[in-house]
Structure 1
Amino acid sequence: MKMKKFINDPDNLTSELLEGLAMANPDILELGEQNMVINKLLGSADRVTIVTQGGSGHEPAIEGFVGEGMVDIDVVGDVFAAPGPQACVDAIKLADKGKGVLYIVLNHAGDMLTGNMTMKQVKKLGLNAVKVVTQEDVSNAPRENADDRRGLVGCIPTYKIAGAAAAEGKSLEEVAAIAQRFADNMATLAVAVRGATHPQTGTLLADLGDDEMEIGMGQHGEEGGGRQPMKSADETAAIMVNALVADIGIEDGEKVMLIINGSGATTLMEQLIVYRAAVKELAKKNIEVVANFVGEMLTVQEQAGFQMFMARMDDELLRLWNAPCNTPYLKK
């Protein structure tokens, strides 16, 4: 089947989308060398700053969350590909305003290779940076093997929590500890009913039958071992809620953040119906949702499905989540 997308030369996808992002948000961010998307107010930042990285093709993630209260520099790789380590080292140098840099990396092979090489160089240069890895996909490894878990939408609320902690003037060690505590108490499970196509090649990333869905689908069409007949919103939400609650160990009376993140081709109507079902399922367990988001944060082109994210919350994390931020795709 021929790919139908409103694009120009496939080789220019990343540069053109970044130019468009900058044109659409001239008061919030600007473009730097090596595909850096930079918080326009970075120059006056007298605080810990936040650098992250990731491939394009997942918009609005990650570059859409650059701005005050979240990410200071995002280094963007090509479609579904990690950037090189030198660009990330340069971004950390640029971001450091004397208070240190929190460097957040999603757990994918290419990103981790870049992240590890970046930190080796950062240490050689004597830069003050701490790396935090988001790795919350419950489908491809048990919690005791968290290093094998993929990073999914959980990076976005981690940026928000860490960015708010930095804005409060906390030290790098404090900001990193808060980000790590949040990351250690979060989990995501994805479901897909139709795969995406790679926007440069037209390759289908996942092939599902008309009456099939897959719980545990990875960010780039990786199989999760949960292929099954299509189920209703309530049935799907119950399966996913129960898996996430069990994984994190959420107990009666606890409070959580709940995010339904559309993967690109699932309507807001469907996402809200799933959210409704998830809240009701949690209420049966006397678990209260105190923070939420329903919509698209991290997509996979036109993949149909969603990611359900859950995190244990406390008063400090809730305050940080609700703190002001100004980015293209999240404002508080």
Structure 2
Amino acid sequence: MSDIKTKFINAPERITAELLEGYVLAYPEQVKLAAENVVVRANPKSMDKVAIVTLGGSGHEPALSGFVGAGMLDCSVVGDVFAAPGAQRLFQALQLMKRDAGILLVVLNHSGDVMSANMACQLADRAGIKVKQVLTHDDISAGIHADTNERRGLAGCVPLYKILGAAAEEGKSLDELVEIAGRYNKNVATLAVAMRSCTHPQNDAVITDLPAGIMEIGMGQHGEGGGGQKPLISADATASEMVDLLCRQLEPKSQDRIMLIINGVGSTTYMELNIIFRKAYQELESRGMKVAVSRIQEILTVQEQAGFQMIMAVLDEDHIDYLKNKASDAPYWVTCGK
């Protein structure tokens, strides 16, 4: 570990606790800490409605706790930087969320998160807690039409939080929510590109070596490699290549209604993200598709990594309604409107 400081932190082992403390102090009307590293809504929904819970490591802010709030998540269970929170902490959260309507646990497909979720759900079952899981696996860097078990979860989970949160507020049952999530999961795909890797805030270690002037399409959630490195190309060429790959995965038809989100991952400017979105939008429209839901925002970051994630989905009408027309007060969703 270098003695040269590169980030505004205090003790490395206190990063997660201190960032969560600052977060809930800033948004006391929306969120609070119910237990160590367990963020919940400040004003819980009624117990006759399904609770939406997720888990994941810190270091990706605003994800995932930034989406706790009315109309989205009821609870986020936070691990250390880039690390799953562990089964016991998740089980504690499931106990806090226990209700007759049940709990839907949204899990990103990463080994630590999956292991924690499976163990916690076993404990919950023994304790009489009604919980079902939905696994997100939107990353297509493993290959077009690769087995879903090989596909990692990326920022495509965030729109799903909005869809499920809105549907749960409407009073949909646990089984109905699983069905809604399943349709979304089958029709969403994400691809990440980076041109500079991130450093781990606790030890300053560089996750992946990306030389100056080199880009990599297929980067993972923590800066892991996943695709081939090549010289950096223009914004239009990058966007076109990524749209083509995502369309090969989703196989959308003319007149399909599409969600297009460009997610900045840490240090790429909104200038660049807007330029990327412009070309991606044009590519989709030229193929006869209609962009019905769109967003340019940092919803899930990878520390100071330079690059972005392009998230695309073919949406059903109820997905569009939940994304566009249902209110949420989650601190990091309302910044761009509904």
Q: After TM superposition, is the score higher than 0.5?
A: yes
Matched, 1:204 2:210: no
Matched, 1:247 2:249: yes
Matches of 2:292 and 2:5, distance apart in 1: 41
1:60 aligns with: 62
Shift of 1:180: 1.7
Matches of 1:166 and 1:176, distance apart in 2: 11
1:305 aligns with: 307
Q: How many residues align?
A: 332
Q: 2:222 aligns with which of 207, 220, 236?
A: 220
Matches of 2:263 and 2:291, distance apart in 1: 16
Matches of 1:186 and 1:26, distance apart in 2: 33
Matched, 1:134 2:136: yes
Q: 1:325 aligns with which of 323, 328, 332?
A: 328
**Taking structure 1 as the reference length, what is the TM-score of the superposition?**
0.97
The letter for the 2-side match of 1:295 is: Q
Change (3 A) 1:282 1:253: same
| Secondary structure of 2:122 counterpart | helix
1:113 aligns with: 115
| Secondary structure of 2:255 counterpart | coil
2:195 aligns with: 193
Matches of 1:96 and 1:234, distance apart in 2: 48
Matches of 1:113 and 1:142, distance apart in 2: 26
Contact 1:257–1:289, Cα closer than 8 Å, also in 2: yes
Contact 1:3–1:197, Cα closer than 8 Å, also in 2: no
Shift of 1:45: 4.3
Shift of 1:97: 2.9
Alignment of 1:1-332 (within 5 A): 2-42=4-44, 44-322=46-324, 323-331=326-334, 332=338
**Taking structure 2 as the reference length, what is the TM-score of the superposition?**
0.96
Shift of 1:177: 1.0
More divergent stretch after superposition (312-321 vs 120-129) = 120-129
| Cα offsets for 1:113-157 (capped at 9, x unmatched) | 101111222222222111000001000244341111100001100
Matches of 2:47 and 2:270, distance apart in 1: 36
| Cα offsets for 1:303-323 (capped at 9, x unmatched) | 000000000112111001121
Shift of 1:34: 2.9
The letter for the 2-side match of 1:101 is: I
Matches of 2:13 and 2:250, distance apart in 1: 41
Matches of 1:254 and 1:3, distance apart in 2: 49
5+ unaligned residues in a row in structure 2: which ranges?
none
Contact 1:42–1:95, Cα closer than 8 Å, also in 2: no
More divergent stretch after superposition (12-21 vs 109-118) = 109-118
Shift of 1:91: 1.1
| Cα offsets for 1:23-76 (capped at 9, x unmatched) | 000000100213100111226443111111000000000011001011101010
